[in-house]
Each structure stands twice: as structure tokens, then as C-alpha cells.
Amino acid sequence: MNKATQPRMIQRYTTSQRINHWIIAITFVLLAVSGLALFHPSFYWMSNLLGGGVWTRILHPFIGVLMALCFFVFAARMFRHNFLTRADMEWMRHAPDMLNMKEERLPEQGRYNGGQKLLFFALIFLVLGLLLTGVVMWRSYFSHWFSIELIRLSSLLHALFAFLMICAIIVHIYAGIWVKGSIRAMTRGTVTPGWVWKHHRAWLRELRGTPTHDK
Ligand code: HEM
């Protein structure tokens, strides 16, 4: 397609939002790998990624704080786009249609669909949970403020939140790849009008200033 016939792209993310998102994604991978290395001896070989066991133990919490800070900045910028609406509830009721590639049966979606919004709030809960339990377990600086019972409980919860977070991000990556055209939103910042029409029609109507048709 030459430039003249190319449809005008729609901006979905700014450069700073994308840089922030990819810092979160890279730090998440580092945390998941180093966290598994700390979790069980059978994953210890993964500590090589950060230069061995000692470096893994030193760096893991600092990378965790970096990810949490970047995530909360990003989440604050995305917050107003993730308020749940009645159309989102309807989307959740019809979620199997989405998986069966019958998206036309779903109500028109705004900038994000009900599933993305649920995941967004789950991520806020999990990152906050990982940060708080991680601080309690951070022996070099903070653990002496807390009782051994609380440190033990935090270790347990930290592992549970990490497991849920890894599952949530697998779903997030799968959805990003499965909904063709989404990855370019996070690499180039833009999406095609066709992509928006297919997946986020209410958002397109909002951008174009045309009224939403409730199905
Ligand atoms: C590791 C690889 C990752 C990939 C390939 C990836 C891919 C994507 C893509 C394609 C989008 C755009 C979706 C759209 O606009 O419809 C997106 C948005 C987003 N991503 Fe990721 N992501 C990754 C990791 C993460 C991680 C680790 C987090 C958080 C801890 C995260 C949080 C988000 C959030 C909050 C959004 C905006 C969605 C919303 O506001 O509801 N991503 N990601």
C-alpha cells in the first residue's frame, strides 16, 4: 500500500507511555526469572541471568521497586480509560463469544474492553501486594521492623501474588498477540482505523464525535 492510499493511523500511546510500558515489561521478565531462582532450588540456574545467587538477591528487590514505580506512573496515566461501564459488564457476560471469534455479538467497546479493564485492576492489586510483601521481606533494610510471623506470611503471599501475576501477564501477552494489530499499538504507538472499528468501536465514535449505538 503506498502512502496516499494508507488509512490515517490513530494514536493510541505516546512515546513516553510506550517507553514506560517496555521498562515495565523488561523489569517484569527480570523479576519473574530472578524470583523463580530465589523461590526453588530447581530454578536456581536462572540466577545466572543477574550474575549468580548473590547478585540475584541484591538486585531483585531494587528491580521490583523500579517496576512498581514505573507501573504506578503508567497506571495513573491509564486510570481514567479503565472505569467500568455497563457495556463492560455486558462484555463480560458475552466473553465466550469473544473467544469463539464472534466479536460482532458483543456490545461496542470503548478504548479498552471489559477484560482489559479487569486485568488492569488485577495488576494494580498484584503489584501493590508484591511491593508491600516484598518490603516486609527485604532483610537488608526493612525486615527488622516486622515480626517473624509477618515476614513468614509475607513470603507466602509474595509467592502467591507472583504466581498470579505471571498467569495474568501470560494472558496479557497472549491477548496482545491474538488480537492482531495490538502489538503495534505498543511498538509504534498507532493502530489502524479498521482495528479500532473492529475492537473498540465506541472509542472510534468518541474520537469522530458520532453517537454510540447501544446494541
Ligand atoms: C512482557 C511483555 C508484554 C507485552 C508483549 C505487552 C503488550 C501490551 C500491548 C500490545 C498493549 C496494548 C493493548 C491495547 O492497547 O489494546 C499493552 C498494554 C498494557 N500493558 Fe502490557 N505487555 C507486556 C507486559 C506488561 C506488564 C509486565 C505489565 C504490568 C505489570 C503491563 C501492563 C499493561 C497495561 C496496564 C496496559 C494498558 C492496558 C489498560 O490500560 O487497560 N504489560 N501491553
- The domain spans of the chain are 10-74
Cβ(34)–Cβ(47) under 8 Å? yes
Tell whether the model's pLDDT for residue 211 goes beyond 90. no
Q: Alpha-carbon distance 85 to 203, whole Å? A: 13
Residue 161 beta carbon below 6 angstroms from any ligand 1 atom? no
Q: Which protein residue's CA is at the shortest distance from atom 18 of ligand 1?
A: 186
215 band by pLDDT with thresholds 50, 70 and 90: very low
Cα of 146 from ligand 1 centre, angstroms: 34
- Residue that is written with C-alpha cell 536456581 in the block: 44
Give pLDDT tens digits for 94-148: 888 888 878 788 889 999 999 999 999 999 999 999 999 999 999 989 999 999 9
What is the DSSP secondary structure assignment for residue 84, as one 8-state letter?
-
156 lines ligand 1 (CB under 6 A): no
Q: Is 172 an annotated catalytic residue? A: yes
User: Other C-beta atoms within 10 Å of 155: how many?
Assistant: 15
Residue 87 — very low, low, confident or very high, per pLDDT cuts 50/70/90? Answer: confident
At 79 the pLDDT is 97
Closest residue by CA, ligand 1 atom 42: 25
Question: Grid coordinates in use for 127?
Answer: 503489584
**Cβ of 173 below 6 Å from ligand 1:** yes
CA distances from 38 to 56, 59, 115, 147 (A): 8, 12, 32, 22
Q: 47 near 53, Cβ under 8 Å? A: yes
Supply the pLDDT for residue 210. 67
Residue of 94, 144, 172, 213 marked catalytic: 172
**CA distance linking residue 47 with residue 53, whole number of Å:** 6
pLDDT tens-digit readout, 9-61 = 999 999 999 999 999 999 999 999 999 999 999 999 999 999 999 999 999 99
pTM beyond 0.85: yes
